Amino acid sequence: MRSLLAPALIVALSLLPAGSATAVDLSGSWSGSWESCSTGHAGPLRAEFTRSSATQYRVDFAGRFFKILPFRYSVTLDVVEDHGDHVVLAGSSFLGRLFGTFTYHATADGCRFTADYRSKKDTGEFRLTRVGSR
């Protein structure tokens, strides 16, 4: 009996999810659009996700405002919930005195990333899909 219990226990433990590692890896290139709910402005958006730790990503965003004005900035997003097939992320970034601090609340799976953003003067949404195959 004892000889059967040990292998069964090892198999059961190996099937449990890892401690703090996220099941979904968002690392890589993403593409899509942004839209302001406050002003109606919208434009293309690209992002490069780099995993900083098991529960944190550095995201480099690049896009266009008024179709011609490029912008680029980075934000650290923390995984605040891990549901296995998708994660919930949150973070903030200070974009200077003109734009202020933007906060983000996002949901992502292996294919889609949707984030609501909010600042003192604007609210809106980012919608991205993964570029290429994984």
Q: Is residue 104 part of a domain?
A: yes
CA atoms of 32 and 103, how far apart (whole Å): 19
Domain range holding 54?
20-130
Residue 90: per-residue pLDDT: 97
- The CATH number of residue 126's host domain is 2.40.128.120
Q: Could you report the per-residue pLDDT of 80-122, keeping only the tens digit for each?
A: 999 999 999 999 998 888 878 899 999 999 999 999 999 998 9
Q: Is residue 13 part of a domain?
A: no
At residue 79, does pLDDT exceed 60? yes
User: Binning pLDDT at 50, 70 and 90, where does residue 11 land?
Assistant: very low
Q: Is residue 15 part of a domain?
A: no
Q: Is residue 11 part of a domain?
A: no
At residue 125, does pLDDT exceed 60? yes
Of residues 68 and 85, more confidence is placed in 85
Our count of domains for the chain comes to 1
CA atoms of 57 and 72, how far apart (whole Å): 17
Output the average pLDDT for the chain. Answer: 85
